[in-house]
Amino acid sequence: MKVKVIKWISRVVNILLVAIFLFTFALVISNLMSEGNPKVFGQELKVVYSGSMEPEIKTGAVIGIKPEFDVRNLKEGDVIMFQQRENHFVTHRIIEVLNNDGQLMFRTKGDNNEFADTNAVIPANIYGVHDGINIPYIGYAMDFANSKFGLVALMFIPGFWLLFSSGKTIYTALKEEKEKKKRANTETVENVS
């Protein structure tokens, strides 16, 4: 009974390691092919670093941002990613569409913020529109996987573990086969005597 439980646990661990390995491999390939911006179904995957959109979008979530959109179709309630200042992007909800002498502008607010953002967002600063993908907490794993140490840990540790596990399985099978042959030879010698 104890051996069956150990084998079952070993299989579950192996399946999890293969899943981590494949996920990391897919993430790395996606990053390489899309120049650092992994894409799924035409949406760039971005990590959320603040809680301004909670509870809908959690801190550490991975969200999909659609970079191709028509600014004229944006409306109240849409969630957009925009550049607030150089190298600083924010994801907030449009609470008002403004038309300032023919110039479209958008008043935004984080769902979890008390007040609206100070400055209205102009179309040129909008990076994309949030479009459906929202996976809580996986952003932490994605950031870890994108680091050098994370890449090594998530690619090589499961790989070495799988090699070790496979080697152990092969060794056990060869040992059992050797014992079978030894028993068969012993039985043959006893039958001959």
Q: Residues 6 or more apart from 86 whose CB is under 8 A from it?
A: none
Tell which residue, 132, 36, 143, 125, has the closest CA to residue 84: 125
Q: Residue with structure tokens 């070790």?
A: 164
Is 52 considered catalytic here? no
Which of 50, 147, 165, 166 is catalytic? The answer is: 50
Which distant-in-sequence residues (6+ apart) come within 8 Å of 130 by Cβ? 57, 63, 64, 65, 66, 78, 79, 80, 81, 91
Please give the positions annotated as active site. Answer: 50
